[in-house]
Amino acid sequence: MFANLNRNLLKAVMLADGAFSLVAGAGLVALAGPIAGLLGASVDPAIVGSVGLFLLGWGVFHLAAGRPAQPRAAAIGIAIAGDGLWVLASAAILLMAREQLSTLGMAAIALVALAVLDIMLLKLVGWRRQTGA
């Protein structure tokens, strides 16, 4: 099992990222109001819902890109760039909007950013293995 995962790391990470993004996106859309309240008193539920809608699209993209035995380089480049932008945007939010966020909100944004960074690094390792670099 682990040998197969090691051989198909990129595909597995893309599919897992897609599935998680769909679940997280659906949760953010369905529970935008309560989640916004937990993130901070001034956090607009429409922003939380919009992030959820984005994640639904992001999840579909990852599932489609991860279907081939070897995902295409352009799709992997988009996925890695998107993850990097997510991490940078999270850092910017933590720096610029910390007064509007609750402690739980700051912790949640930081934790998700770290998870996305880890996923991005796994994609990079998988891509490197796929290309033999």
Q: Are 21 and 62 in contact (CB under 8 A)?
A: yes
Stated pTM of the model: 0.90
- One digit per residue, the tens of pLDDT, for the chain of length 133 reads 555 555 689 999 999 999 999 999 999 999 999 999 999 999 999 999 999 999 999 999 999 999 998 889 999 999 999 999 999 999 999 999 989 999 999 999 999 999 999 999 999 999 998 887 6
Domain boundaries, the chain: 2-131
Q: Which two tokens stand for residue 46?
A: 């429409």
